[in-house]
Amino acid sequence: MTTPKTRSVLAVASECAPLVKTGGLADVVGALPAALAPQGWAIRTLVPGYPAVMAAFPRARVLAEWPDLLGLPARILAASRGALDLLILDAPALYDRDGSPYLDAAGRDWADNDLRFAALCMAAARIAQDGLGGWCPELVHLHDWQAGLVPVYLAQMGASTPTLLTIHNIAFHGLTKPDRMERLALSPARFNMDGFEFFGQVSALKAGLVGASALNTVSPTYAQELMTPDYGMGLDGVIRARAADMSGILNGIDTDVWDPVRDPAVQWYRLPSGKGVNARLLRQEFGLDDGSGPLAVVVSRLSDQKGLDLLLAALPDFLKAGGQLALLGSGDPHLEQAWRAAADARPGQVGVRIGYDEALSHRMYAGADAVLVPSRFEPCGLTQLYALRYGALPVVARTGGLADTVIDANAAALAAGVATGIVHASHSVPALVHALLRLCALHGQTATFRRIQKNAMKHPVGWDASAPLYAELYAKLADSRTMSPCP
């Protein structure tokens, strides 16, 4: 058998699991290389040299030294881990600082975020244009606004490398003031309605939306929603104008990392009945009583997107019906405070951990009867996929990728034996209460609940369906190029 010729992609992202992660973007960027390799595509992923990345690879090879990347010295380093083939942009003036990829220790956006991610984009454009030690990507895969300026820099260089922009979340635009254009080496000629201007500001996301050769987002439903004013966050018209180049490809999860049969963070199980010991440990860990009702969990960023204020309002009814809740999250200080208060008010029924803890999140999916995702909008969502994989019922709002991945346990779906969770209207406390009461009722019907759990655990959540779709899109773009790849 002949192995297919390996084709090359440069991916550009601000996060990549397991090295640096604030949300699902990192999981997806980290999982795509392994998913696409069997399709004949080798992805090299360019990430900023944050302290955690630099510390992980003390012996990374230096591939390029640039005295002047947007006025600053920078190097490109190479390192690999598992299926990840990383290019690291080492620019200490931009990335060597404590805090998250986007925020300082006090939780404020870094004042120079525009420059930090413009430099990432400029580095990517240079690599695409000039190659790196003889390696030339056939296309560049951009993730979110942090990679949005790549098509602008490529165009300014006169390069024609095709680009694919994946929209993980339209809520983040990467805005900066027009007087920063010179510092970012952006040509003012593109500062207009058809370029990267957005209501008087420079938008890195819009630059990508108008400039990339093709666009996609992370679920078919979100692809449709993005074209409407309710979800487009001011960019729905821009996306509608590119409808012919836009698609929705559902995210998968890494089913090797997320596997209840061999996950080192949990007590292993193959069947839903094996979750009992994990549930006991989880209740202990969160100081919850021995309950007979459903144990629901939330693992989430605490932001308006996630609808966790709606859950606070629905909580009393759920607890009254016998439910218990364990929440792990961090973000908006008001929500952190409100959730702490909820736990203090209902000890034994509600447990809350404010913070970020990867191993604890695994233990929560393993111990939970249900995972709640009441989002106002959700491009794809990964926690409902982990829920399915770990035999916890996802209780989700009918929006974006949540709507595409969970089958509601209504009478018809139960009769057909295909139900995997509970789906409710988004933005609505009464609908959420109703869903939580349905969860309690179903939980009381042990045989039915077990059947749904088994369906959930069988539901395909890996990359088998989506990897070929990315491969097809990559091939279409790479084959459309008019000039040969860089020298």
Minimum distance from CB of 405 to ligand ADP (Å)? Answer: 11
Binding partner at 218 among ligand ADP, ligand GLC, none, C-beta below 5 to 8 Å by kind: ligand GLC
Using CB under 6 A, pick the residue from 327, 328, 387, 440 that binds ligand ADP: 328
C-alpha to C-alpha distance for 224 and 216, rounded to whole angstroms: 11
Reported as type and span, the H/E element at residue 139 is strand 139-143
With respect to ligand GLC, which residue has the nearer C-beta, 269 or 377? 377
Site track 273-312 with ligand ADP (rule: CB under 6 A), x = hit = --------------------------xxx-----------
* Nearer CB in complex with ligand GLC: 10/403: 403
Give, in order, the Cα–Cα distances in Å from 405 to each of 305, 367, 385, 389: 18, 21, 8, 12
What backbone torsions phi and psi does residue 169 show, to the nearest 5 degrees? -165, 115
Q: Going by C-beta distance under 8 Å and a sequence separation of 6 or more, which residues neighbour residue 357?
A: 328
Helix (H, G, I), strand (E, B) or coil at 16: strand
Strands 201-203 and 72-81, by their bridges, are unpaired
- Residue 232: which residues within 8 A CB-CB, separation 6 or more? 170, 225, 226, 239
Place of tokens 């409100």: 338
Residue type, 283: R
Residue with the two structure tokens 């908006």: 332
Site membership for ligand GLC, residue 169 (CB under 6 A): yes
Amino acid (one-letter) located at 274: G
Q: Which helix (H) or strand (E) holds 205?
A: helix 204-211
Single out the residue of 379, 391, 394, 421 in contact with ligand GLC (rule: CB under 6 A). 379
Residue 20 within binding range of ligand ADP, rule CB under 6 A: no
- What does 363 bind: ligand GLC, ligand ADP, none (CB cut-off 5 to 8 Å by kind)? none
Q: Which is nearer to ligand GLC, 186 or 205 (CB)?
A: 205
Q: Which tokens belong to 216? A: 């996609």
Interface with ligand ADP, residue 358, by CB under 6 A? yes
CA distances from residue 208 to 214, 311, 467 in whole angstroms, order as listed: 9, 35, 23
Stretch that binds ligand GLC, among 24-32, 42-50, 55-63, 230-238 (CB under 6 A): 24-32
Which region among 101-109, 375-383, 392-400, 442-450 touches ligand ADP (by CB under 6 A)?
A: 375-383
Query: What are the CA-CA distances from residue 204 to residues 146, 184, 209, 230 (Å)?
Result: 7, 11, 9, 21
Residue nearest to ligand GLC (CB): 24
Residue 461 Cβ vs ligand GLC, minimum distance, rounded to whole Å: 12
* Region near ligand GLC per CB under 6 A, out of 179-187, 268-276, 376-384, 474-482: 376-384
Size of site (CB under 6 A) for ligand ADP: 18
Residues 382-421: x where in contact with ligand ADP by CB under 6 A, - otherwise, as a string: xx--------------------------------------
Q: How far is the CB of 127 from ligand GLC (least distance, A)?
A: 24
**CA–CA dist 227, 126 (Å, integer):** 32
Applying CB under 6 A, the residues found at the interface with ligand GLC are: 23-25, 28, 168-169, 218, 251, 378-382
Applying CB under 6 A, the residues found at the interface with ligand ADP are: 23-25, 27, 299-301, 328-330, 356-358, 361, 380-383
